[in-house]
Amino acid sequence: MARSRRLLAACAAPIGLMCALSTISAFAAPPAGTLTVSFLHPETYTDAAYRSAYGSDRERAQVMNDIRSHFDELAARYLPQGYALSIEVLDVDLAGHFEPWRVRGYDVRIVRDVTWPRMTLRYALRGSDGAVIGSGEQRISDQNFNMGVNVYSQSDRLRYEKAMMDRWFDETVRRRLATRQTGQG
């Protein structure tokens, strides 16, 4: 009797695992569309460094990597399979600034209401048929970045920029996708 229970348990475990995996895959999101993010002339960006007013190439690369990662997350979540989004980042101006009168070595980003985040983007959104759904160059900013609720952690160095990027993605990309999918555009 004990042997038959062990045999039944040994057979049931792989079947249970297969059922669980098939259930998970049934609810998994379909693969996202294609996203391309490029940064044009980052050495000329207004303010794209975490640690100092005149950031090094390495510091700018860190900011650009974080921006690219956030756009990747947005595309994975909202860009349908077969669609393509190309984003060229033309300028970055992070929220806050470094005050030059502070002692060297103590560079601290001071965030005030008048130092809101800004970016200049050029984008092209293409449908699964290759047709351009939307394109343009936009200067995005969030003058009210310090008001209301921000869903990102206070320890996130791009918390204000991410909220601004979320809003741009929602107002520009997701709205165009919704219009196209309902047959209005």
| pLDDT tens-digit series, residues 103-152 | 666 677 778 888 899 999 999 999 999 999 999 999 999 998 888 888 99
Whether the full predicted model's pTM is greater than 0.85, yes or no, is no
| Confidence grade of residue 98 (pLDDT, cut at 50, 70, 90) | confident
Work out the number of other CB atoms within 10 angstroms of the CB of residue 95. 23
Q: Which residues pair with 126 in a beta bridge?
A: 84, 132
d(CA 47, CA 98): 10
Q: For residues 144-163, give the mean pLDDT.
A: 91
Chain segment 30-42, per-residue pLDDT in tens? 557 999 999 999 9
* Model confidence at 9: pLDDT above 70: no
Helix (H, G, I), strand (E, B) or coil at 174: helix
Mean pLDDT along residues 44-65? 87
Q: Mean pLDDT over residues 6-31, rounded? A: 47
CA distances from 43 to 63, 91, 122, 161, 184 (A): 12, 10, 18, 19, 41
Give yes or no for residue 92 having a pLDDT over 60.
yes
Assign 140 to helix, strand or coil: strand
